[in-house]
Structure 1
Amino acid sequence: MGNETKIKVVTADPSALGLFGLAMVTLVASSQKLGITSGVSFILPWAIFLGASAQLMAGINDFKHNNTFGATAFSAYAFFWYAIGFTWLIQNGVFGPELAATVDTKQLGFAYLGYLIFTIFMTIGAMETHKVLFIIFVLIDFLFIGLTLTSFGIMEHATHQLAAYSELSIAIVSFYGFGASVLNTHFGRTFLPVGKPFGIFKK
């Protein structure tokens, strides 16, 4: 047997790109939920390219970092936005009037419920990453609670407002997280603090 040579490939942390994608799509989408804008026509490109594609790129690169948590989170939310984009296309008749006519929003409610369950697990994991990420995941929990209940027709106005303000808050905190990820790495020091892990589950 010959000598074995191991080569380490260094890649940049993709978190900043993923958080920027999340911040952009939630900012634009929340404007519609809050009634500031109307329709989904001009949300769709940001959902596909920033919410979905940017987060998928971040997820794929986190796999290369052997970061199971980041890879799973970014990739899962990326596919969420691809799916949401397709639901909007279906609702607006892009795939024909038959599909548009048979839309049942309760099916979307079950999808939101699934993502709520997923996000609760990820929120626990985020407690041992940093506090900014933990806040983002808690806000995503509230977003999915609001979306799930709205889709099932439960207190629709109140739960829609919960989803709307949660989504806007996700955008604001994600912009901060993106800025911290870029600038802290760029300057090689803590330029924007993100808070230490809670240290409950992982010492």
Structure 2
Amino acid sequence: MSHGHGPANPGPAGLVALAMACFTFYAVHTGKVDGSCIPLLGIWLIGGFIVQVIVGIMELNHGNIVGGNIFTFFSAFFMFVTGGELIFKFFAAQNGWTIDARIDGWAWLALAIALLTWTPAYFKSPLSLLGVVLALDVAVPVVAFMDLGILGHEWHAVSGNFLGLAGIFGLYTAWGVILNTQFGRTIIPLGGPIVKDQVSVSASK
């Protein structure tokens, strides 16, 4: 059902793709599935890349600097690169190739720093979306430190559970945005932002 010819919010599609990645990594990190799933996970992540790169470009075109940039670099590194690497590493292990995978830790460290330093921008977002980012703020550095060899593999339980939590918050936010927009009123409460626009604050006084 159309609500006009203006551009629609693509965020829910990006959040569903993110939730898919979070749920599948939760399953891997917490031992719900075994290592034989890795090539399939790689393919799912490449599918997520297609969704998120479209969302990122649309968000940037809509003037959303935070969401647009986050979805763009998530699509490239969290989805496409990680998906391709998982497939490559699976076949490398099958063929006995020696790879220094600590380079992944350095890459994830850069992504973790970007995510952590951009987090305050999400204080102006709905609480449910901030919940996604805060959960990732724990999971992504843990992944980086595990890949660097600083943390042991027992930390997979931490990264896995926080990824699962990020996925839940992501799906909840997508659910709310879709239904609230479609019905033109709050069906699913998402929680107000911690930091409100100055105009809104002034108007409420």
- TM-score, normalised relative to structure 1: 0.87
Unaligned ranges ≥5, structure 2: 199-205
Question: Which of 119, 144, 147 pairs up with 1:123?
Answer: 119
Q: The residue matched to 1:93 in structure 2 has which SS?
A: helix
Q: 2:106: which partner in 1? A: 110
What residue in structure 1 maps to residue 57 of structure 2? 60
Structure 1, residues 11-37: CA drift from partner, whole Å, max 9, x if none? Answer: 110011111111112112211111011
Q: In the alignment, what sits opposite 2:158? A: 162
Supply the distance in 1 between the matched residues of 2:80 and 2:71 (Cα, whole angstroms): 12
Instruction: Say whether 1:24 aligns with 2:16.
Output: no
Deviation at 1:181, TM superposition (A): 1.1
The match for 2:47 is 49
TM superposition shift of 1:47: 0.6
In the alignment, is the contact (CA less than 8 A) between 2:46 and 2:84 conserved in 1?
A: no
Instruction: Identify the residue that residue 202 of structure 2 maps to in structure 1.
Output: none
CA RMSD of aligned residues (A): 1.9
Q: 1:173 aligns with which of 156, 162, 169?
A: 169
Cα contact 1:23–1:170 (8 A) shared by 2 = yes
Asked if the contact 2:18–2:167 (Cα under 8 Å) also holds between the matched residues in 1, the reply is yes
**Structure that is richer in helix per residue:** 2
Percent identical pairs in the alignment equals 24
Match of 1:5 in 2: none
Tell me how far 1:154 sits from its aligned partner: 2.5
Q: Any stretches of 5+ residues in structure 1 without a counterpart?
A: 1-8
The answer as to whether partners of 2:136 and 2:163 remain within 8 angstroms in 1 is yes
1:149–1:159 contact (8 Å) kept in structure 2 = no
**TM-score w.r.t. length of structure 2:** 0.86
